[in-house]
Amino acid sequence: MPPSRRNKDGLLARVNFPLYSVQMLTSRHILVAGGGGSSKTGVANGFEIYELSHDSERYIAEEVTRHETGPSVVMNCATYSNGRKTYLVAGQESHCQLYNVIETVIDSGTRRKRTVSSSDGKVDGAGEPRQRRRMASKESADKSEAKQQVNNNDHSYRQLMFEIKPNDSIQTDFSKEEPLQRVVRIGRNGKIMATAGTDGFVRLWDFPSLKKRLDIAAHSKEVDDLDFSPNLALLVSIAKDGHCLLWDTATGKKVNELKWNVPEDSKYLYKRCRFGMIEGDLNKFRLFTLTNPVGRPAKSKSFLQMWSPEEASLKKSAHFSESLSALSVSDDGRFVAVGTMFSGSVSVYIAFSLQRVLHVEAAHSMFVTGLEFLPSVLDEPAINSATETAVVSISVDNRVCIHDLGYRRTIPPWVAIILIVVVLFLSFVLCSYLGL
């Protein structure tokens, strides 16, 4: 049986607005977004950035940046960093807003700020001369040292801070009734972006210039989710018309449609979709979807499904007794996390077998709106923790939680071989003694 527990110590933070999106900003910084909308309720809209650390017993989150977006609630967002510049894109009604995220190292001992993501390579230091030639390596060292010191007892000495600055904004949905961007995704190479919304179109854009590449008349109803394949050759889209479609990102042509044997007298809709790598190979991947029954017919189950995109065939599935609301795949493709609608629970599965290895009952008091694994494939210093994986969850209950999976106990291969040899030897001795 997988570990199962009620959520007692997984709370990272409480925010004073409902949460709808969560993204990793660096290897140890998470960004959450949401809001109360344009109504005059006094509930804010915007982003919060938290710095994560581990004290050998539990994860700790410290707020480092808050950015409010006025009357525009943030329902969806995506981030991308190339090591020099960090970008954030967010759906705000019918538009996609691009932000520049400026990273700054703060030396708390001298109260001196040094910007480490300036485009010209200069670092602003109080009373210090500006040195252009050597700043590239100095910027990298400052950022790396700031990130490494998060887990130290004196981590307040140097800290990485962020400033979110609005840049371009483009309209991405053109529905005649209520235009709304429902989802945005950035390709892992940082050169392509996909958006979709209530008009049923999937649109591809050059990133970060936001120059349009393709308009795809993908669905007859609003799109709920998108994702790029790891090699960026495919884009998957799901919508309220009940279709899950695969698209060629170069041409915009439909490659395939995923179909399965729906239980008799039932109707299902896809809710979420995510690709996951196999063995770290960008050209080998699986596709995961969540499907929920419509109208909650008696004894109908919801499913986490694993597909082969090349064959458009369903390989495995795991069923649930309630509707599903959130899905995430770890960056190495080893784990899949699922959030539920009614109980607010979170489960983690092994990707290739869909074996459940962790279940957190009632992680939230309301439905889970977003999940994000901590990075495992890292170019930056990682958080030191004795866990195999960890996933952050958010909800409209304003809570940010984390759920970690400890290393599972397994027998090393060499021990298994020795045990087999010993058993065979003892069996031979016993047979000889008995004269068999």
Domain for residue 166, yes or no? yes
What is the band of 137 on the pLDDT scale with cuts at 50, 70, 90?
A: very low
Residue-level pLDDT at 120: 38
The per-residue DSSP string of 365-414 comes to SS-EEEEEEPPSS-SSPPP--SEEEEEEEEETTSEEEEEEEEPPP---HH
Is the confidence at residue 108, as pLDDT, over 90?
no
User: pLDDT tens-digit profile of 262-308?
Assistant: 988 889 999 999 999 999 899 999 999 999 999 865 678 999 999 99
Q: How many CA atoms lie less than 13 Å away from 169 in the CB half-sphere?
A: 11
pLDDT of residue 208: 97
Residue 201 resides in a domain: yes
Quick: pLDDT tens for 220-245: 999 999 999 999 999 999 999 999 99
Q: Look at residues 281, 276, 280, 288 and name the one whose alpha carbon lies nearest to residue 229.
A: 276
- What's the whole-number mean pLDDT along residues 43-65? 93
pLDDT at 143 over 80: no
Alpha helix stretches (DSSP H) within 183-288: none
3-state secondary structure of 299: coil
Q: How far is Cα 363 from Cα 30, in angstroms, rounded to an integer?
A: 18
- Does 196 reside within a domain? yes
Enter the tokens of residue 357: 């290895």
Separation between Cα atoms, residue 43 and residue 55, nearest integer Å: 33
Contact status, residue 346 vs residue 339, Cβ threshold 8 Å:
yes
Residue 183, CA atoms < 13 Å, CB-side half-sphere: 27
3-state DSSP call for residue 425? helix
Structure tokens at 198: 């209530």
State residue 264's pLDDT score. Answer: 81
Q: Is the pLDDT of residue 421 over 90?
A: no
> What is the secondary structure of 240-270 as a DSSP string?
TTS-EEEEETTT--EEEE----PPTT--EEE
DSSP 8-state secondary structure symbol assigned to residue 149:
G
Would residue 435 count as lying in a domain? no
Dig out the tokens for 416 from the structure: 């298994």
The answer to whether residue 169 sits within a structural domain is yes
Domain tally for the chain? 1
In the chain, what is the straight-line distance between the N-terminal and C-terminal CA atoms, in Å? 41
Collapse the DSSP code of 112 into the 3-class scheme (helix H, G, I; strand E, B; otherwise coil) and give the result: strand
Average pLDDT of the residues of the chain: 86
What pLDDT does 413 receive?
65
Residue 433 domain-assigned? no
- Domain boundaries, position 383: 4-427
Residue 127 is assigned to a structural domain of this protein: yes
Q: In this predicted structure, what is the pLDDT of residue 135?
A: 35
Q: Is 341 inside a domain boundary?
A: yes
Give residue-wise pLDDT tens across range 151-185. Answer: 444 444 578 899 999 999 999 999 999 999 999 99
CATH code of residue 66? 2.130.10.10
Cα–Cα distance measured from residue 213 to residue 235, given in angstroms and rounded to the nearest whole number: 14
- Do 197 and 177 form a contact (C-beta atoms < 8 A)? no
186-208 pLDDT, tens digit each: 999 999 999 999 999 999 999 99
